[in-house]
Amino acid sequence: MPRKQHTKQFKLDAINYRKEHPDLTQLQCAKNLGIGISTLARWESQYRNNDGDIPVIGSSNYESEVQRENARLKRELRDTQDALDVLKKAIGILGKD
């Protein structure tokens, strides 16, 4: 299942929501926003480590051509591994006859 990608604005709004609700735990904030606690924690860490900004890398928003190519190759590898898994299962099923 592909990961849901949130916009930069959503991430910043989530961090602001957390700041505006100090009475809520991180878990409660994450549940209210419909995201995982680890996701919110990662965004907060990125926000702190990047001077109040969150770097967002989208489909055409890579910092370099090397990063773009790495992302493409990772997608290709994942797709190939998925296809291989399907073939292995098919061979297992057909091999039982």
How does pLDDT run across 72-82, given as a tens digit for each residue?
899 999 999 99
Query: Which phi-psi region, left, alpha or beta, contains residue 94 (left: φ > 0; alpha: ψ -120 to 50)?
Result: alpha
- Taking the domains of the chain in order of start, what are their residue ranges? 1-56, 62-97
pLDDT value at residue 62: 64
d(CA 36, CA 76): 27
pLDDT beyond 80 at 53: yes
Rounded to two decimals, the pTM is 0.56
pLDDT beyond 60 at 12: yes
Give the torsion sign (CA, 17, 20, 26, 32).
negative
Q: Work out the burial of residue 30: count CB atoms within 10 Å of its CB; fewer than 13 is exposed, 13-18 middle, 19 or more buried.
A: buried
Query: What fold does the segment set 1-56 form as a domain?
Result: Arc Repressor Mutant, subunit A (1.10.10)
